[in-house]
Amino acid sequence: MPVKLPILLVDDDPQLVEILNRAASHVFPLAHFIQISSFSEAITYLEALKEHGPRLVLLDIDLKDKHSGFDFLTLLREHPQGKMVPVVLLSVNSDEQVAEEAYTLGANAFTQKPDTYADWKKYVKLLKLYWFETVTIPKVWLKP
């Protein structure tokens, strides 16, 4: 059986992981989305890892928490291995200033969240094509 590719989804929308997993079942069956809904849950997840970390992080900017996605990105980029994990920022809009801040803090990409299931399916297909078929992502161990 092929090894699943863990993708960490840091987003407070409880339905998004279901949408992504359903889309992935059609276009990227090796993807395994792991949803974390807050900054503190993301920290707990990373601290509890007993094996290699996620191969990719999809990170919502607005976590409706006292900490934003930018806070998590900053923390991840300060970690010696965390800086090697590709991070794709998700936003409901395409504000250039927000995109600029995302890249300044170390995001690898800034994307607008799709509106429809068909668009999410296309989004997941493009994630697969670029992040798992075009570029090489190192396996990282996120222990301190």
Please answer whether residues 34 and 9 qualify as being in contact, where contact means their C-beta atoms are separated by less than 8 angstroms.
Answer: yes
The answer, yes or no, to whether residue 3 has pLDDT greater than 80, is no
Question: Does the pTM exceed 0.85?
Answer: yes
The answer, yes or no, to whether residue 138 has pLDDT greater than 70, is yes
Q: Given this model, what pLDDT does residue 78 score?
A: 87
Residue 117: strand, helix, or coil:
helix
For residue 90, the one-letter residue type is: L
Q: Given this model, what pLDDT does residue 140 score?
A: 74
pLDDT tens by residue, 61-117 = 998 889 999 999 998 898 877 788 999 999 998 889 999 999 999 999 999 999 999
Average pLDDT (31-50) is 88
56-60 β-sheet, strand order: 31-36, 5-10, 56-60, 87-91, 109-112
Q: Given this model, what pLDDT does residue 2 score?
A: 66
Q: Given this model, what pLDDT does residue 144 score?
A: 53
* Percent of the chain scoring above 90 in pLDDT: 69
Domains in the chain (CATH in brackets) are: 5-134 (3.40.50.2300)
Q: Which residues of 98-124 are buried (b: 16+ CB within 10 A; e: fewer)?
A: ebebbeebebbbbbebbeeeeebbebb
